[in-house]
Structure 1
């Protein structure tokens, strides 16, 4: 038993008693948003200025007697009462259900997590619901498993490849070893290791994301504006009603003045009801609901109706790079292949493929073989393959060529291949250095390929291949169209500056990139732009 960040690591798992104690402290591994009770949401919709005027008018309609027959209750204005109550309920119901059905982002994101996982309890592996995990639990991580909570890798085993694209936007899988931290929501691509849970529920990275989604409750700009319009019109109507009230009372006779005052008040509220835009909430809510429906057809998650009008009013759109502007898929750019003397681009790809795994591939190997004519590989026979490892940073294949010769082919990090070539060809190594640095400045991921006779170990430069996460086919057109509509598109990414510049260059967004200094200037930038009445939206 050891300790990790004050949590004891027991590879045999927790006992039932320990689980109960820890759950009492940390709760369940779930995020429970602080939701307003439904009755409160409905009640609030009756407290606006328009509903209040409608309610008072409806009550006065039946409370104030008919001046022609004050004792006859049947002649009270029951029809107006019924119509006003019906319209009031219609406004409230439509507004409530439109907001309720606009979308549930928290549920949509929760659906991405796995419902069960393999957990070791009382020394035995068993299926446990993810929500029942507590810090200290030992969980099994294997290929295809969605990590159920934040934790640390423990035990013994080979490193695992983890896809964190949904969390960090990084297209390549990350290699994690024993002692490394892993985040809830990431997906294990390959390898097997045990994980000890360290954070659950709202304390986990995934939980904090859900909590942020649930905290979005801001009232929309359009709703605020319409509320101001309604109040302004009500004040104007109230001004004229006060004048009408004073004039009528001044001209009235002293006899039955009490009834006359009540009838005058009723008249004033009828005028107010006619002045204020009663149907405006229904109309605007219906229009926004149609927009939400159209967005849902495009697989967009709408958390609130105000998002529709915010999208219509944005002037600056900040977009994530990976997976939004780009494909989130490494692709080999054939135009960026650098060939060694006597080699062609196609031949370089064939050699690179021979030094790659053809089954259970990682993203880099997939990109290489996808760009290669695989029928050419049938001429060769790989007799031995040494996979990539983080120490050597290269792969190596022993290949039997069609003419009967045997060669060693290596593919790996460009500087590793350069050093291998430099042993016997220092001038070529210098040229490689310039090419590698040039591509790195443009944000291209580069791999080197070389070969050698197995007896002489005389590594010769075959070529350099470049990988890049390319823009989506429709991204450039969409950005141009957005700019025509007056929306300025900005790219936000955690990638290296060179990668960001190259992506922006290909999309025609310019190459003026702000780095870490934005954290010291972001507030002032937003204040300056926000002061101009601009909507700034991030996606």
Structure 2
């Protein structure tokens, strides 16, 4: 402990410097909630709806304008509320006790909040402390764990004259030093600042934009054809313009963003129960497409805890005796990671140690620790430390090759000796290593089976990294930090900025990248990656940068996120297929029906009812029963649109047949319009069951919510048509007959669909 009196800053000097340098904290800028909410109305789909809303208001079509307004508000509130829930959960996760620091103020050692430290403060740190700021040590000697900053798995020695980084943890000893940097100027802070400029564009936004682009192109062509026809046929503009607007509304994928949000939100809630917190909803979709996982080693694939990996006794020395002497030269009171690892290993084989008369903790100057005990009536001394030092004390000359062999596996090697005072005998060598997490190898194997290429990224040496990768079954060559452009399975000797650039390099090659990590050094890469994963022991900066935060030990959560994401993909593929098919069918039927028959085959009001009847029922797909894909999922828009067009033309034939049957039965135009409306509703529901399975539609059981929602939809629209509410009435036999005919037609289409839709997925 330092003396009671000391020479540090005065309170006045500290206040002046605090005003000059600011608090010792990395300030996180948080956007205002109202701006986040307004951002939900700034995207391709809302733009189209907003444009339509303005035109409807200008024309005085208030019922339609109100319905569109409600659609916009529903989408905005749903997306905003789900993201806020995730952010609130993250804030709770980030709460922690305020760190206190021992600083010299006004000639006395005081305990002050770490946030109040300023450059020039004299600070004292000891075992168990988190270093509160960057320090230049003036006296003392300590062992520090810098794995959260540099990725090094082994603690390092620091003495007077050395620098000490903020956020590192003191594992042994005590030391004092002057604060050289605080807040954003510290090593910790500079790394955290890199996070601000990082970030990957959401592939979900690109997908929605691509789908909207195709639909708008089709809509523009159809509207242009209708306007030309209307001009040639002298149809009044006031009559045709509302129809064109309704065609636009029917072509906009109104519920597409809301359904994606709902599906990912529901899945994120399921993941919470599996120890995975989703902080960015798009990450669930990105998990499905992830092709590469760049995994930090220390604390992620390994336990970040030293343990005995091998004990090599010298000739004539049993392993039990070797561990016994090593334990006598160790003490749990020091909290030295090496001593703790030795004691854990020895307790099973040597539960009873002789009474120790004296213990000398590890000293960086002598590079050994010692324990004095009585044996056979004589005073013995057990020694543990550097192989070179211990071998010299014992006069041993054949220790080097054995030490090299043990160190080749990336382990830290210690020598053990014991004997009467002045007559030590070389007992053997101990190899200490950071053990692999129990579930890591299995998770790596399962991810690779799912088509995800796992790449290990570490600050350790290539030899250490190679041994860990071999044990985990990670495929590929081992490269150093200078070969980031190479396609390697392991990147060793990597610095914080290297991880960020590695992720960027893979993204430029068209890869969807995941990154797991726990330290401040990982934060920029976690934010840049499409799926940044902060593991359970991660720092607050890493958690804030990541899109997924694991709240349970191990890496099982990463695998759960991938499988869940692929289930979401299958649900959204079904929804998107269904939506594009229905847009093509409805838009072509409305426009071609007008061009061919010079009348509205469905009224504008019924078109708006159709949106509610189909789009919001199909949102139940967010919880449908699906099988995850065996390989990373990527949206192929061209194939998606082509497949949808083929199915849409089949349904177009169906709906024109419905119109023809209505005319042949001699029904009035208003009743035919009701029949067409029912045909569009029934075919829309049937199409959901048709495209939800890439195989035949009976290959899997639909979700319960989907079944109930479909039944309710049929009963509601059938009841409205039978009662003549909001539309012309139809006899019940005709409604039931149309429903049965739709089911038969769906079974016929199923034979065509199977080879077509299998091109869209690897399932």
Q: Does 1:448 align with 2:425?
A: no
Structure 2 length-normalised TM = 0.60
Match of 2:330 among 356, 359, 362: 356
Q: Does 1:495 align with 2:479?
A: no
CA offset at residue 536 of structure 1?
A: 2.6
Q: Is the Cα contact below 8 Å between 2:153 and 2:460 reproduced in 1?
A: no
CA offset at residue 188 of structure 1?
A: 2.7
Closer/same/farther in 2, CA of residues 104 and 189 from structure 1, 3 Å limit: farther
Q: Does 1:25 align with 2:2?
A: no
Match of 2:379 among 402, 406, 416: 406
Cα distance in structure 2, aligned partners of 1:186 and 1:250: 79
Which has the larger displacement, 488-497 or 390-399? Answer: 390-399
Cα distance in structure 1, aligned partners of 2:424 and 2:109: 49
Match of 1:194 among 176, 180, 185: 176
Closer/same/farther in 2, CA of residues 203 and 368 from structure 1, 3 Å limit: same
Cα distance in structure 2, aligned partners of 1:113 and 1:169: 25
What is the correspondence of 1:147-158 to structure 2 with a 5 Å cutoff?
Answer: 147-154=131-138, 156=139, 158=140
Q: What SS does structure 1 have at the residue aligned with 2:356?
A: strand
CA offset at residue 366 of structure 1?
A: 1.1
Cα distance in structure 1, aligned partners of 2:50 and 2:288: 34
CA offset at residue 488 of structure 1?
A: 1.1
Closer/same/farther in 2, CA of residues 161 and 208 from structure 1, 3 Å limit: same
Cα distance in structure 2, aligned partners of 1:163 and 1:102: 32
Match of 2:342 among 368, 387, 391: 368
1:207 corresponds to which residue?
Answer: 189
1:537 corresponds to which residue?
Answer: 514
2:255 corresponds to which residue?
Answer: 279
Match of 1:433 among 393, 396, 400: 400
Cα distance in structure 2, aligned partners of 1:134 and 1:527: 36
Q: Is the Cα contact below 8 Å between 1:49 and 1:230 reproduced in 2?
A: yes
Q: Is the Cα contact below 8 Å between 1:339 and 1:345 reproduced in 2?
A: yes
CA offset at residue 439 of structure 1?
A: 1.2
CA offset at residue 460 of structure 1?
A: 2.2
Cα distance in structure 1, aligned partners of 2:130 and 2:12: 27
Q: What SS does structure 2 have at the residue aligned with 1:323?
A: coil
CA offset at residue 491 of structure 1?
A: 1.0
Q: What SS does structure 1 have at the residue aligned with 2:298?
A: helix
What is the correspondence of 1:8-407 to structure 2 with a 5 Å cutoff?
Answer: 12-64=7-59, 77-103=61-87, 111=95, 114-154=98-138, 156=139, 158-252=140-234, 260-300=236-276, 302-333=278-309, 336-373=310-347, 376=350, 378=352, 380-401=354-375, 403-407=376-380
Q: What SS does structure 2 have at the residue aligned with 1:464?
A: strand
Which has the larger displacement, 166-175 or 432-441? Answer: 166-175
Q: Is the Cα contact below 8 Å between 1:331 and 1:467 reproduced in 2?
A: yes
After superposition, what is the alpha-carbon deviation per residue over 1:361-417, rounded to whole angstroms, capped at 9, x for unaligned? 31111111111137846462322322221122122222212x334322222112222
Q: Is the Cα contact below 8 Å between 1:57 and 1:266 reproduced in 2?
A: no
CA offset at residue 316 of structure 1?
A: 1.5
CA offset at residue 315 of structure 1?
A: 1.3
Closer/same/farther in 2, CA of residues 531 and 448 from structure 1, 3 Å limit: same
Cα distance in structure 2, aligned partners of 1:282 and 1:443: 51
Q: Is the Cα contact below 8 Å between 1:171 and 1:328 reproduced in 2?
A: yes
Cα distance in structure 1, aligned partners of 2:35 and 2:351: 68
Q: What SS does structure 2 have at the residue aligned with 1:236?
A: helix
Q: Is the Cα contact below 8 Å between 2:407 and 2:431 reproduced in 1?
A: no
Closer/same/farther in 2, CA of residues 126 and 376 from structure 1, 3 Å limit: closer
Q: What SS does structure 2 have at the residue aligned with 1:319?
A: strand
After superposition, what is the alpha-carbon deviation per residue over 1:164-221, rounded to whole angstroms, capped at 9, x for unaligned? 2322333443332233222222223343333322222222222234334444453311
Cα distance in structure 2, aligned partners of 1:135 and 1:300: 39
Closer/same/farther in 2, CA of residues 395 and 174 from structure 1, 3 Å limit: same
Cα distance in structure 1, aligned partners of 2:351 and 2:159: 34
CA offset at residue 502 of structure 1?
A: 1.6
Cα distance in structure 2, aligned partners of 1:413 and 1:48: 63
Closer/same/farther in 2, CA of residues 525 and 132 from structure 1, 3 Å limit: closer
> Which one has a larger percent helix, Structure 1 or Structure 2?
2
CA offset at residue 262 of structure 1?
A: 4.4
Q: What SS does structure 1 have at the residue aligned with 2:346?
A: coil
CA offset at residue 313 of structure 1?
A: 1.2
Structure 1 length-normalised TM = 0.83
Q: Is the Cα contact below 8 Å between 1:382 and 1:397 reproduced in 2?
A: yes
Count of aligned pairs:
500
1:73 corresponds to which residue?
Answer: none
Which has the larger displacement, 468-477 or 107-116? Answer: 107-116
Cα distance in structure 2, aligned partners of 1:129 and 1:395: 35
Cα distance in structure 2, aligned partners of 1:300 and 1:210: 23
Cα distance in structure 2, aligned partners of 1:488 and 1:467: 29
Cα distance in structure 1, aligned partners of 2:198 and 2:90: 11
Q: Is the Cα contact below 8 Å between 1:56 and 1:269 reproduced in 2?
A: no
Which has the larger displacement, 287-296 or 364-373? Answer: 287-296
Q: What SS does structure 2 have at the residue aligned with 1:162?
A: strand
Q: Is the Cα contact below 8 Å between 1:105 and 1:302 reproduced in 2?
A: no
After superposition, what is the alpha-carbon deviation per residue over 1:44-86, rounded to whole angstroms, capped at 9, x for unaligned? 3323332233233334445425xxxxxxxxxxx4333222111
CA offset at residue 317 of structure 1?
A: 1.0
Q: Is the Cα contact below 8 Å between 1:113 and 1:148 reproduced in 2?
A: no
Which has the larger displacement, 475-484 or 21-30? Answer: 21-30
Which has the larger displacement, 474-483 or 438-447? Answer: 438-447
- Consecutive unaligned residues of structure 2, counting only runs of 5 or more, are 488-497, 517-763
Q: Is the Cα contact below 8 Å between 2:484 and 2:502 reproduced in 1?
A: no
Which has the larger displacement, 42-51 or 482-491? Answer: 42-51
CA offset at residue 438 of structure 1?
A: 1.1
